Chain A
Amino acid sequence: MLFFIVFIPLVASAALWAMDKDSTGSVRNIALSGASLCFLFSLFLLFGFESENNGMQFVAGITWVESLNIHLKFGVDGISLWLVILTSFLGVISVIYSGYSSNQINAKQREFLALLLALEAGILGVFVSLDTISFYVFWELMLLPSYFIIGLWGEGDRIFATTKFVLFTLVGSLLMLVAILALSLEYHTVTHEWSFDIDTLSHMHLSDGTQLWMFLCFFLAFAIKVPMFPLHSWLPHAYKSCPIAALILITGAMSKAGTYGMVRFCVPLFPSAIESLGLIIGVCAASGMVYGAWIAVMQKDLKSLVAYSSISHLGFIVLGIFSYNSQGVEGSVLQMVNHGIIASAMFIIVGIIEEKMGTRQLDKLKGMGTPMPVLYGMFMLLALAALGLPGLNGFVGEFLILAGVWTSVTLSAMAAIFVLMGGAAIVFASIYMLYMFQGAMQEKNADLPKDLQDINCAQFAVLLPACILVVFIGLYPKPFIDRIGPSVDNALHAVKTVNVHTGESTSHH
């Protein structure tokens, strides 16, 4: 099942390369069917998933390098389940947006869609990989398509933006590669066996010093990908240049690869490193929360505004992870999904505004709400979700995260300050979101284009699911938390059965 989910977009992508350049109609139909098929399969996951089970489910694998015990092994648990569904869902949305809506990509649509699907496959592979090497391969697979998408379809100083993005991320991922190899070497030293299996490795006891440097390697790679303050400086450039259709996937799903990696690797593998470094990371995450939100307040370019608000929201997620207790991490995982839904919808709205008005500068926008009541309502709902209105999904995640931080042991020295900073970020969020919403949609505007139409069916179709989900998760988060919870507890309490000193492997639980 998971093989289908990962390889369908890849196959569709390859099929697009092989196709005739000029048949745009069938190009986008193939892209859409690939993405939809992938989404359908991921929905099957949801129905087959056992929520009580805290281990990996739908596990399937093939041997890759036998001598080293490297496998291409896939599986999902409660942490990755929702992210897989989110990614395949956003894949469909971004194909519709780039292929069918009135602001579609026109230049080289075939190549664009092919890269988009390859990107989707890469992200999905990251979320389902159970083997460090295959994780790393998919991690790098995410990078290539986004590099070309920003570099070829971007706007403004796109080459600079994409180079910066790639160099930044490469530094991180090379560090991660070193740590991945060292981790398995360590395992080999202890047990005289090779293993790249994440679950097996996470039961290995590591000395504090080893944990520290390996943690830093992994963490830097993830923190750059997220990105987390103060490693975020590629993001404003990259997001500003990146075409909206790809931003849906990049902000909605790819940025979660970093936070997902933290939960998947850092939490179970390096508990003692988190204990010693958690507070410093907490300071960075909390600063990022306030910093991003504060800068967003005065942004005039809607795309930058959403970009900086993303830095703030991702700070929340990282902070929740390093609260290192079940509420905080559960909140973070849920918030990854929430942010994926909200931020991608926000960028779609920015794209629509730019298409209709020819600009996305806040000081040139006004009064779009009167001729566009449907967009007005949807934009308002999503803005409210983004600013964390209780009753909508953003609040559920923020509440759990801050409740986790409040009771956190690792962050206890500064818990109250972090929560206050979170509060400040929430207040700033209400300011910039209202600036954005009211500024674009309200007040009287005599200079509106005469033929301004409300959003069309395709645009409605890409926004509607987000609107439904923000309400549903806000009112009834239980089905989500029920599935996330057991796996999070499992990651938090990874039992260390492989001991360095005796070198013996006792039975795995």
Chain B
Amino acid sequence: MFGYGWLVLISPLLGFLSLSCFGKRIPRSIAGYVACATVGLSFFISLILLVHLSVLEPENRVGGVQAMYTWIDSGQFQLDFAILIDPLSVFMFLIVTGVGFFIHVYSLGYMEHDPEFKRFFAYLNLFIFSMCVLVSAADFFFLIVGWALVGLASYLLIGFWRDKPSAVLAARKAFVMNVIGDVGMLIAAFMILETFGSLSYQKVFESAPGMFLANDINVILITLFLLVGAFAKSAQLPLHTWLPDAMEGPTPVSALIHAATMVTAGVYLVARCHTLFELAPFTMYVIATVGIITATFAGTIAMVQTDIKRVIAYSTMSQLGYMFLAVGLGMFSFGMFHLMTHAFFKALLFLGAGSVIHSMNDEQDIRKMGGLAKAMPITYITFLIGSLALAGFPLTSGFFSKEAIIMASYHSAMGNIAFWALAIFTAGMTAFYSFRLFFTVFQGDSRTPDAHPHESPITMTGPLMILAFFALTAGVLGHWVDGFLSPVFGGHAEHYEDGFLETIAVLVGFGGILTAGLLYMVPSDRVAQLREVLAPIHDILFHKYYVDEIYDFLIVKPVKAISVFLEDMGEKKGVDFAVDQVGVQVREVSKYVSIWQSGRIRDYALNMVAGMALVLIFVAFL
């Protein structure tokens, strides 16, 4: 029925293959269009799938597995390469290919002067394909395949400017951290295979509720190992350190992979496996707790960073924390709704930042920017919209999605005052840092007088305007998202009304914006004074709580030292020495029988033949 759904995957794959294998023959002028067209086609087919699903009865919308071929057949382990077309995967398709398409178009302008233009688009197409595999896999095996392939695409794109040592290092860091997550998923897959005898979602989710009581140790272990993968991919504590460094990649990559799509895979995973997670309330509690702590942790760091992309990167981490809070509380459709609005406004902010960086000749330090409003009106307005949505300003999309989560953090069954307090505190910080960034970059006077900022070309501002439109208005889709996904989640998420708490949330948001305005709208020495008063705290935050340094000291250095130690002691002085000693001792003994050791190959050969003959004779006479 949904066989044509394969086209969503195949189209960008063909784009990748043609650009990477025949890149030399494809003229540069059309390479970019080829890449955009393949993703555009995927988006178009996703829209058709959406219509197709919408006309079906709700109960017929789930379980549409489309197998392509049998991948392996080994004993009890059989696996088809199959995709699952249901509301959740189509929802993710739409975000991935939709936002992906606009970012492709934006890249036409952004990467225009890059000598490796074609390689860039090949990798982008590879990413879209991999992400589609991830969200449409019908079993845990191909989930892992997609999971690792997006990690690969992310690695390739972070390290896209391969001449830069920092980019090479950041790419490797991201890859290795994601492999740690992959291994976690792999172990979860083994446990699932052993428990359920199958890796297919359908079988696992059908039989799980009948097999386990709540908080069965098996299901807790399975979900916790899945979480290792989810946290690594979505940069949650303690596996988050790769995400800020990933900003070494070109900005459209940060927008697509490290804001809108790939990093949300962890949230998708929890939503997809909600049947398992619901059986493990303990794990759900872990998710919600890690989510909200990450949100707060990243929010505090974002307040003091000075690199425009790093501010947005930490804010991404923080917003992902909100999504994990939502799914951890069992409010899956709220998590997915925030995932969607976040994809719009965060992609918008990154692309806006890219536009700024582009016009400032690759300057990323916000302390050197300022007064860009006049030179770049479209970027200015759209960035304002993005910041408002991120800050949760009333009636923007971010307001609706974040509000729902904050209400649930107090009112839902697992909610409590601590979750709510941290959520509201983080919301205040979010409003503050997003407008600190906005005011510093666009208001006041230019801090680099010799820069000549200019507005970006239409290929870049076009996507900005479209994304701004969605960032502003997507809030109205909240009920539709809930209804559309309800066949997957088996019910609606309850929307809590609480006028008092809502008012607090709105006021805190205003407070954040106001504080930022007072401090940064017009340049003053208040900021410097404040920084001096809070110097110790500022220091810790500026150095991101020294997590990188701690990891380096606790993990990286010991791993390297042990490697050297093993080679030194284990190889040269241990195993090898022992073996050589045997040799030396034998040689001592052999001095007495050294007649045999003439040093001539012919003699050795003769000895060998004689020995063999003796053995054969011995055998023959038995």
Interface, chain A (partner B; CB < 8 A):
65, 67-68, 164, 167-168, 177, 181, 185, 188, 230, 232-234, 236, 291, 294-295, 297-299, 325-327, 330, 367, 369-370, 377, 384, 387, 389-391, 395-396, 399-400, 402-403, 406-407, 419-420, 423, 426-427, 430-431, 434-435, 438, 441-444, 475-478, 481-482, 485, 489
Q: Tell me which of B159, B580, B619 contacts A181 (CB under 8 A).
A: B619
8 contacts between A and B (CB under 8 A): A68-B620, A164-B583, A391-B149, A402-B186, A406-B193, A407-B190, A423-B183, A444-B163
Q: A326: which of B75, B563, B566 is its contact (CB, 8 Å)?
A: B75
* Chain A residue with Cβ nearest B171: A438
> How many Å lie between the Cα of A477 and that of B172 in the bound state?
29
Q: Is the CB of B563 within 8 A of A67?
A: no
A233/B187 in contact, CB under 8 A: no
Contacts of B554 in A (CB 8 A): none
Give the contact stretch, choosing among B64-72, B259-267, B358-366, B406-414: B64-72
CA distance A442 to B622 in the complex (A): 66
**CA of A407 to CA of B186, assembled, Å:** 14
Q: Are A426 and B183 in contact (CB under 8 A)?
A: yes
Minimal Cβ-Cβ distance residue in B for A430: B179
**B562 located at the interface, meaning its Cβ lies under 8 Å from any Cβ of chain A in the complex:** yes
Contacts of B559 in A (CB 8 A): 294, 297
Residue of A nearest to B611 (CB): A174
Name the A residues within 8 Å of B187 (CB-CB).
419-420, 423
Known contacts A297-B559, A390-B145, A391-B145, A443 near B165 by CB under 8 Å? yes
Is the pair B619, A434 in contact by a Cβ cutoff of 8 Å?
A: no
CB-based contact B194/A369 at 8 Å: no
Contact A326 B162 (CB under 8 A): no
Chain A residues, Cβ within 8 Å of B191: 406
B319-352 interface bits toward A, Cβ cutoff 8 Å, 1 = contact, 0 = none: 0000000000000000000000000000000000
| A326 x B74 contact (CB < 8 A) | yes
Judging by beta carbons under 8 Å apart, are A396 and B72 in contact?
yes
* One of A167, A419, A426, A438 near B168 (C-beta < 8 A): A438
Measured between beta carbons, the chain B residues less than 8 angstroms from A475 are 71
* Min CB gap B143→A, angstroms: 10
Write out the residue numbers on chain B whose beta carbons fall within 8 Å of the beta carbon of A387. Answer: 179
Given contacts A168-B579, A402-B190, contact A478 B71 (CB under 8 A): yes
Q: Are B168 and A442 in contact (CB under 8 A)?
A: yes
Give chain A residues whose Cβ lies under 8 Å from the Cβ of B619. 68, 181
A389 to B72, CA, bound (A): 17
Q: Which residues in A have their C-beta under 8 angstroms from that of B165?
A: 443
Q: Is B566 in contact with A295, judged by CB distance below 8 angstroms?
A: yes
Contact between A400 and B74 (Cβ–Cβ < 8 Å)? yes
1/0 contact string of B162-186 vs chain A (CB within 8 Å):
1111001001100110011011001
A391-B148 Cα distance, complex, nearest whole Å = 8
A291 vs B570: C-alpha distance when bound (angstroms) = 9
Cβ contacts B94-129/A at 8 Å (1 or 0 each): 000000000000000000000000000000000000
B175 touches A430 (CB 8 A): yes
Interface residues of B in 567-585 (CB under 8 A from A): 567, 570-571, 575-576, 579-580, 583
Q: Which of A431, A444, A476 has the most CB of B within 10 A?
A: A431
The residues of B that contact A164 with a CB separation of less than 8 Å are 579-580, 583
B232 to A: closest C-beta gap in Å: 11
- With a cutoff of 8 Å between Cβ atoms, the chain B residues found around residue A370 in the complex are 163
- Most A CB contacts (10 A, CB to CB) among B69, B148, B560 go to B148
| Residues in A neighbouring B186, C-beta threshold 8 A | 399, 402, 423, 426
Picked from B162, B182, B571, B622, the residue with its CB within 8 Å of the CB of A390 is: B182
Q: For the complex of A and B, list the 4 residue pairs with the smallest distance between their C-beta atoms, beginning with the closest.
A: A423-B183, A298-B563, A390-B148, A444-B163
Q: A158 vs B376: C-alpha distance in the bound complex, in angstroms?
A: 68
Q: Which A residues touch B580, using CB under 8 A?
A: 164
B152 contacts chain A at the CB level, 8 A cutoff: yes
Whether the pair B72, A298 counts as a contact (CB closer than 8 A) is no
Q: Are the CB atoms of A438 and B159 closer together than 8 Å?
A: yes
Tell me whether B172 and A438 are in contact (CB under 8 A).
yes
Partner of A367, one of B148, B163, B566: B163
Is the pair A233, B571 in contact by a Cβ cutoff of 8 Å? yes
Is B31 an interface residue when CB atoms closer than 8 A count as contact?
no
B595 close to chain A: CB less than 8 A: no
Roughly how many angstroms separate A407 CA and B162 CA in the complex, as a whole number?
42
Given contacts A367-B163, A390-B182, A423-B187, contact A431 B176 (CB under 8 A): yes
Question: Across the interface, do B148 and A294 meet the contact criterion of CB distance under 8 Å?
Answer: no
With the chains together, A291 CA to B183 CA distance in Å? 18
CB of B77 within 8 Å of the partner chain: yes
Q: Is B20 an interface residue (CB 8 A)?
A: yes
Q: How far is the CB of B310 from chain A (nearest CB, A)?
A: 23
Partner of A403, one of B71, B144, B193, B562: B193
Contacts of A477 in B (CB 8 A): 71-72
Q: Tell yes or no: B615 within 8 A of A by CB.
A: yes
Establish whether residues A476 and B144, one from each chain, have CB atoms under 8 Å apart when the complex forms. no
Minimum CB–CB distance from B345 to chain A (whole Å) comes to 32
In the bound complex, CA of A426 to CA of B145 (Å): 15
**Chain B residue contacts of A390, Cβ below 8 A:** 144-145, 147-149, 182
Are B77 and A327 neighbours in the complex by a CB distance under 8 Å?
A: yes
Question: What distance in Å separates the Cβ of B99 from its nearest Cβ neighbour in chain A?
Answer: 24
Contact of A403 with B190 in the complex, beta carbons under 8 Å: yes
- CB of A481 within 8 A of CB of B73, answer yes
Q: Which chain B residue has the least Cβ–Cβ distance from A151?
A: B601
> How many angstroms between the C-alpha atoms of A151 and B152 in the bound complex?
42
Complex CA gap A431/B559 in Å reads 11
B74 x A297 contact (CB < 8 A): no
**Closest A-chain residue to B77, C-beta based?**
A327
- Residues in B neighbouring A443, C-beta threshold 8 A: 162-165, 168
CB distance from A489 to the nearest CB of B (A): 8
Tell which of B20, B73, B176 touches A478, judged by Cβ atoms closer than 8 Å.
B73
Give Cα A498 to B165, complex, Å: 66
CB distance from A373 to the nearest CB of B (A): 9
Task: Please report the C-alpha to C-alpha distance between residue A290 and residue B300 in the assembled complex, in whole angstroms.
Answer: 39
Which residues in A have their C-beta under 8 angstroms from that of B466? none
B72 contact set on A, CB distance < 8 A: 396, 477-478, 481
B560 touches which one: A298, A325, A391, A441 (CB < 8 A)? A298
**Does B476 count as interface, using CB distance less than 8 angstroms?**
no
Asked whether B77 lies within 8 Å of A403 as measured between CB atoms, the reply is yes
Point out the residues of chain A lying under 8 angstroms from B168, CB to CB. 438, 442-443
Is B564 positioned at the interface, with any CB of A under 8 Å from its CB?
Answer: yes
Task: Mark each residue of chain B from 4 to 38: 1 if its CB lies under 8 Å from any CB of chain A, else 0.
Answer: 00000000000000001000000000000000000
**What is the bound-complex CA distance between A281 and B563, given in angstroms?**
23
Asked whether, in the complex, the Cβ of A384 is within 8 Å of the Cβ of B152, the reply is yes
User: CB-CB < 8 A to B183: which residues of A?
Assistant: 423, 426-427
A427–B190 touching, CB < 8 Å? no
Given A442-B168, A478-B71, CB of A389 within 8 Å of CB of B620 = no
Q: What are the residues of chain A within 8 A of B562 when measuring CB–CB?
A: 294
Instruction: Give A431's nearest chain B residue, CB to CB.
Output: B176
A415 to B: closest C-beta gap in Å: 9
Query: Contact: A442 with B571, CB < 8 Å?
Result: no
A330 with B579: CB separation less than 8 A? no
User: Across the interface, which residues of B come within 8 angstroms of A298, CB to CB?
Assistant: 560, 563-564, 567
Are A419 and B190 closer than 8 Å at their CB atoms? yes
Find chain A residues with CB under 8 A from B180 CB: 427
A230, B563: Cβ atoms closer than 8 Å:
no
- A295 and B563 contacting across the interface, CB-CB below 8 Å: yes
Q: Quick one: CB contact mask for B537-566 with A, threshold 8 Å, 1 for yes? A: 000000000000000000000011011101
Q: Shortest distance in angstroms between A65's beta carbon and chain B's nearest beta carbon?
A: 8
Chain B residues 479 to 508 lying within 8 A of chain A, measured CB to CB, are: none
A430 touches B563 (CB 8 A): no
CA–CA, A131 to B506, complex, Å? 83
Task: State A65–B164 Cα separation when bound (angstroms).
Answer: 68
- CB neighbours (8 Å) of B75 from chain A are 325-327, 330, 485, 489
**Bound CA–CA A158/B20 (angstroms):** 42
A-B contact sample (19 more), CB < 8 A, given A390-B147, A443-B162: A65-B616, A65-B620, A232-B575, A295-B563, A298-B564, A299-B567, A387-B179, A390-B149, A391-B145, A391-B149, A396-B72, A406-B190, A423-B186, A438-B159, A438-B171, A438-B172, A442-B163, A475-B71, A476-B71
